[in-house]
Amino acid sequence: MVNGFRHQKTWLKILLWIFLIASAGILQPTGTAVEKVGPVVGKKAPDFTLDSLAAKKVELYPVVKENKVTIVNFWGIWCPYCVREIPELVDFYNQYHQRGVEILAVNVGDNSKDIPPFAKKNKMIYFPILIDKNNAVSERYQITGFPTTVIIDKQGKITDIIVGATDQATLASKVGAALKEK
């Protein structure tokens, strides 16, 4: 009787393995699955329209056409690296805006009521702060780390993507190259 029970357990294990292997084959992704690809350096930046803190709609492409370089910075008050980066962005903007550089600061994940006092305290009064209420733009750009800075030339082409906090020297280098190209 003991041998019969062991024999049944062996067959159950074999059947379970066959089932698992067959299931794994069925659950494999097919060649028709579409991989989502976010913005790529050298490709055109996805357009977007967002509300600004000033209650105006801001569309990316008109801003891009008006400037030699547009910087789109995805940030949040909740992100310590973003907060640390803000003085660098403000100083950079003050140095480069007259040379045709615009910054669009896209806030992700904060209550829009909390942003104005934070912006005033951190002197973010010079460039537009846009609100990505439903995270639609950050998802479209497939932002996975904060802050993320996307540098776009006058033709709307992405020239660089910086994930993580940046500084004036890095921005000057990246933007300087884009300013010289055109």
Give residue-wise pLDDT tens across range 4-20: 556 676 766 666 556 55
Tens of pLDDT, residues 134-157: 999 999 999 999 999 999 999 999
Query: If you ran DSSP here, which 8-state letter would residue 97 be given?
Result: G
- Assign 3-class secondary structure to 39-53: CCCCCECCCCEEEEC
Average pLDDT over residues 47-69: 96
Under the banding of pLDDT at 50, 70 and 90, the label for residue 30 is very low
Say which residues have a Cβ less than 8 Å from residue 142's Cβ, sequence separation at least 6. 36, 37, 38, 39
The distance from CA 44 to its chain's CA centroid, rounded to whole angstroms, is 15
Q: Which CATH class for the 49-181 domain?
A: alpha beta
Boundaries of every domain in the chain: 49-181
Cα separation, 93 vs 116, in Å, equals 19
The distance from CA 171 to its chain's CA centroid, rounded to whole angstroms, is 17
Average pLDDT over residues 82-97: 97
Dihedral class, residue 76 (left if φ above 0, else alpha if ψ from -120 to 50, else beta): beta
